[in-house]
Structure 1
């Protein structure tokens, strides 16, 4: 087996920065007690101002106030960790979150699908960079070795145990996952590399150190297997963004909404599923003496979808229809209806103009822009009267013709008189007598007619009435 270790050295900072509209702004994550606030980590722009991790917030403010601060949230960092595990699940069925800020992936079984390791690695790096997460990647025959090698290497690929032994022997003792006390003890004994520790007799190590030390060394060198608990994607998606300021316009909500939907699409890709319905929560600023209820914006689709751009377009259309009653402090997105995703059928050579879109996409866009009630399909009704044979329906699939005889696709609101000299009769009459049971009794003789310009229509004359024809509809 081959295991890839994806080390995410600044997971918390990257997670916060990718949700900010201006990633070039100096930023610091802060933690600590109320009496002593400390910079947990800083981005590149903040480092250029002289800020450093571990510095007190008071000392940082004494140097400059040209930087933003965000509270470090371990729970939020855990959510980013799980989201990236969902991303990694696209590439491997064995993904582990055993170590913090690390993804362990079994990749040997995936090489046949994603290509040789250099190609596979390039794809992983490209997607992680696009997602906004810095990373280091190392491959080794066992997961513990891959994790420890990532402490000192990036891009290293060790594919056999013999090579692994040689590489590990060069590792510093304080970088192979031993506790600080054990590393210090080895250093005092003059043992600074793993090869020096491995040269010692096992019984000597067993007498001087706890059993966990030998167990860890055996696991690191592949002599002892280590069971891993593999990640299983959850059955729902739930994410929240707390805004930096109170928002009162739709436009300011679009950027965080787009980020949330991009994360939803990432999650769906890992599960190989789509979304049928999701809900956007607008969390409002509480008023004096009361808590304002959330504004709920449901987004429903007629078929499962997972493309980020399309989901965002539909969500934006729904959002723009809502009147924001009070300032918004946070956004939340919940998706529980996650059916299996079946890609739509596409022709190999699509001759549709590039600016056109499939009917399914147009239908969803219209529903998002105009509302669910404004867009409907047409269904057949068991009635021979043309004006009663069609009715609006929510059926998303096209209906099949109910009659073998042709009927016009465009019916006029009110029949119009035709001059006998302006049309010629091509077929007819076809008599329709119906509606006696509901008070809409009709007795008509219908004719297929053609105008001088070649347009064909459907016209009728009431039975017993010798007046002119009445045009009721046009054929396409």
Structure 2
């Protein structure tokens, strides 16, 4: 049965940054289980309680192994204990004539045994099983209790204790550049080294970033220039896609001018949101049934997700190139006054919290109007003197706006004019309804 998974990098640890790289992988692994620990050069995960959540042990193992390989951690193994799993991962995958049974593994696969490998070899020990068969009392006196404890823990005879990795509550990472950078476009490569830890941190928190800030410190600058600068990037939809974040940040940097040479960068996360993971469908989706690009394929959940993500990516890139004030999005408002039923905001700033309806008594998801409304609305109502003008339906009375000092009291009608078609007209209620009462044109049905 699958209990532990150990992940090792492709090459042995050789640089001072390897401990940071292992920590970043541990943050990434937190999306699968909260029981993640650092053990020597490896990241170990206790996944027994998570198997059902990810469709069984084989599917969970596949997700972890494939995801870790993309991050450069391609060596792995499974086992009943953390030390046994680490020993198997160090030894490698079993091949013909090669076994990964714990007792048959070489001395170098367990750190506590490797420390005494020279002495144990002179005693005739070649495998962990040979060491285990030595008299325990003599081993304890000669090699110390740590060796026996490691062997017992690897075989499950004694419990293992770990300090579980926890992702920090806030992401704030600094990177010192190897040399001075004079242009913002040259910072694009360095920002990827900051975004990779960010995506690992977001994966461990099951979240996506909605807004982040990139700051830089100038090594020297003119007297009239601030010693540091920053770039705030907002996304129209939360994401932790490394390539998408990197391309979008590059768009912003290509349009930024530095006040001097930059010596270091820092990345700060301003807003995150829970990021839902798409679950498997009960029935096979249309897009996988060979329907191609027909109308039915567009209705599949997979196609809808792809279209939504593609639209969000396009809005973010256009906002970066043209300026966020030049890319706007219509937001529906719960208001009976037709001229207030929507307002336009920057697409990158259209957060759900900022788009709450004014009328909190309205039922979410239900349209306010129970009558047809025109597709074209005039900026300002215009007085009418059309003749003959036939009133087809109405009146529809609207009294609203007392909360923002824009109170209206109108009776709306659906009207028809031969040369203009269907019109949306109204009379002010404070005017007596006589033949001479003025009508105002407010909208046109296209």
**Do Structure 1 and Structure 2 share a fold, with TM-score over 0.5?**
yes
Residue 109 to residue 358, structure 1, CA distance change in 2 (3 Å) = closer
1:8-407 correspondence to structure 2 within 5 Å: 8-10=9-11, 72=15, 74=16, 76-99=17-40, 101-114=41-54, 119-131=59-71, 133-154=72-93, 167-178=101-112, 182-243=116-177, 246-249=180-183, 251-258=185-192, 260-287=194-221, 293-300=227-234, 304-308=238-242, 311-312=245-246, 315=249, 319=253, 322-335=256-269, 337-342=271-276, 350-351=298-299, 357=308, 361=312, 365=316, 370-371=323-324, 375=328, 377=331, 379=333, 395-396=354-355
Contact residue 235 and residue 336 of structure 1 kept, 8 A: no
The normalised TM-score by structure 2 is: 0.69
Q: Deviations over 1:244-294 (max 9, x none)?
A: 555455544444445644542332222222334322223334338999533
Question: SS where residue 151 of structure 1 aligns?
Answer: helix
Residue 470 to residue 98, structure 1, CA distance change in 2 (3 Å) = same
Residue 88 to residue 473, structure 1, CA distance change in 2 (3 Å) = same
Q: Deviations over 1:28-86 (max 9, x none)?
A: xxxxxxxxxxxxx5xxxxxxxxxxxxxxxxxxxxxxxxxxxxxx5x2x43322111001
Measure the CA separation in 2 of the matches of 1:242 and 1:8: 24
Residue 183 to residue 346, structure 1, CA distance change in 2 (3 Å) = closer
Measure the CA separation in 2 of the matches of 1:379 and 1:218: 66
Q: Deviations over 1:187-218 (max 9, x none)?
A: 23333333333333223323433233322332
Residue 471 (structure 1) aligned with residue 419 (structure 2): no
Question: SS where residue 33 of structure 2 aligns?
Answer: coil
Tell me which residue corresponds to 1:45. none
Structure 1: tracts of 5 or more residues without a match: 13-40, 42-71, 157-162
Measure the CA separation in 2 of the matches of 1:3 and 1:441: 67
Contact residue 171 and residue 193 of structure 1 kept, 8 A: yes
Measure the CA separation in 2 of the matches of 1:290 and 1:194: 68
Measure the CA separation in 2 of the matches of 1:453 and 1:319: 54
Measure the CA separation in 2 of the matches of 1:442 and 1:153: 77
Tell me which residue corresponds to 1:448. 414
Measure the CA separation in 1 of the matches of 2:176 and 2:23: 19
Q: Deviations over 1:384-409 (max 9, x none)?
A: 7x667876687425776666566546
Measure the CA separation in 1 of the matches of 2:49 and 2:69: 24
Residue 83 to residue 373, structure 1, CA distance change in 2 (3 Å) = same
Measure the CA separation in 2 of the matches of 1:413 and 1:137: 65
RMSD of aligned residue pairs (Cα, Å):
4.8
Contact residue 279 and residue 299 of structure 1 kept, 8 A: yes
Residue 89 to residue 410, structure 1, CA distance change in 2 (3 Å) = same
Tell me which residue corresponds to 2:290. none
Residue 465 to residue 142, structure 1, CA distance change in 2 (3 Å) = same
Contact residue 11 and residue 80 of structure 1 kept, 8 A: no
Residue 243 to residue 439, structure 1, CA distance change in 2 (3 Å) = closer
Measure the CA separation in 1 of the matches of 2:35 and 2:399: 69
Measure the CA separation in 2 of the matches of 1:119 and 1:78: 28
Contact residue 236 and residue 338 of structure 1 kept, 8 A: no
Contact residue 3 and residue 80 of structure 2 kept, 8 A: yes
